[in-house]
Amino acid sequence: MASKKKIETLYEDEFLVAVNKPAGLLSIPDRFKPDLPNIQSILRSRFGEIFTVHRLDKGTSGVMLFAKDAETHRQLSKAFENREVKKLYRCVAKGTPSSTSGEISEKIGRSPKQGGKMVLNRSGKESITFYEVLESYPPYHEVQVQILTGRTHQIRIHLPSVGLHILGDSLYGRGDFFVSELKGKKFRLSKGQEEKPLLVRPCLHALSLSFKHPHKKSEIEISAPFPKDYKATLNQIKKWKA
C-alpha cells in the first residue's frame, strides 16, 4: 500500500481533512479486491475512523475531502447534494471545441453494452457541467471545468460532446499520450529504443473545493498543486505547438 508520507495533506482540523489524491490510487476499497491501495484505507490507518465525503476516479488527481466524524460527514454530504460546494477541475484536451466556453446539461446513464462505462442518455440522471478553454495550442487546449452534479465520469463524457477529448483517457478517448504525437516527423527513436508515454491516465486534475465549514461557518477554499505528468504534458504542448 502507498506510504502515508506520500499522501499530501492540504487542509486539516478537528472535523475534516483534505488530501491531494495521486493519480492511479483508488478513492475507496475495491469491492472485489479490497486489499488494493486506496486513499480511504491509508487515512483510516492514520486517523482511525474516517468518512468519505465524495470520490475521484482512480486516474484523477487532486483535492479529496474526508470527515472525521459522522455529523461532519452528514453536513458535508448535504452540502454536496445541495450544490453548495464549488468544484473546479483542470484538464488538457484535444479537439476542436464547438465553443470556447459554455454549459453542458446532457443526462448521463450507464452503458447497456459495456460495464463500467457511462453514456449520454435522455433517460439518465441530470448532469450539469460548465467549461472554459483557458489556453489553446490547436488542436490542444487547457480547460477549466466546474461541475454542479457529481455523476460518474461526468467530465470525461461531457467534454467530448463539445469536441474536447481528454488526453490519456483510454475509456473515452485514445488512451496513452506520447510526445511523438506532438513532434510528428521530427520525432526519432534510436534503434531498439521504445517510446514511453507522457501520460498513462486521463489528464484531469481536481483543482479546488470551496465551501462553508460545517461547524466554523467560515468559507474555505482548498486547492491542490498540479502533478508532474500534468505539468510535463502542458509544457511539451507549449514547446511544440505554441
Q: State the catalytic residues.
A: 57
Distance CA 133, CA 156 (A): 15
Residue 1: name the closest of 31, 29, 26, 38 by CA. Answer: 38
Distance CA 76, CA 159 (A): 27
Count the Cβ atoms, other than its own, within 10 Å of residue 89. 22
Angle (CA) 232-200-135 rounded to 5° is 40
- The x, y and z cell numbers of residue 103, run together, are 454549459
